[in-house]
Amino acid sequence: MNIKWILLITLPPLIAGCTDGLSWKSKAVTPPVEQAAQEIAVQRPVLRSAPEGARTAAQFDVTTPQERAAAASVQPAGERSLGTTVASLGDPTRVGFWLETPLISEPGKGRVVFPGTGKSANVDLIPIDGPATAGSRLSLSAMRLIGAPLTDLPTIKVYAGG
């Protein structure tokens, strides 16, 4: 058999399999990585930053009264104690109520309590590397809400769930 005949017989079905069968345009497929990135972007809250020239804790804390009220509304049912940790002030330009801590291995919701005032705040728990005895970083908004001194290293109680 001649090579031309082999190509004429096998090439058209191969080419047809690479297209949508009606045109030479390829099918639009969203790559898995791009699709995952789009899903993550949808889940992230809109980031806000402190006003230019912010100098005080109150100027850096741009959480809304509604966000502070939600963080202060404590419902301890169903939570479990993760222990205590020494907390330093986290990045003051990062808005929200969060705790970066080695006490957990996966992100989740939780609550922190400052025994010095007895006040607590609902926070997003964010895992960081290190032994459980290592310190944690608490958001500016959470530190202000629980009344922890911003320039000290307060010991706080941490709870998961709730």
Q: Which DSSP symbol is given to 75?
A: -
pLDDT tens sequence across 111-128? 999 999 999 999 999 999
Would you kindly state where each structural domain of the chain is located, as residue ranges?
3-43, 63-161
The predicted model scores a pTM of 0.65
Instruction: Look up the CATH superfamily of 63-161.
Output: RlpA-like domain (2.40.40.10)
Q: What is the pLDDT of residue 6?
A: 61
For 23-66, how does the pLDDT look when each residue is reduced to its tens digit (9 = 90+)?
555 445 555 555 544 444 444 444 566 677 778 888 888 788 88
Tokens 């929200």 — which residue?
A: 96
CA gap 84, 155 in Å, rounded: 7
Secondary structure (DSSP) of 1-46:
--HHHHHHHHHHHHHHHTS-SSSSPPPP---HHHHHHHHHHHHSPP
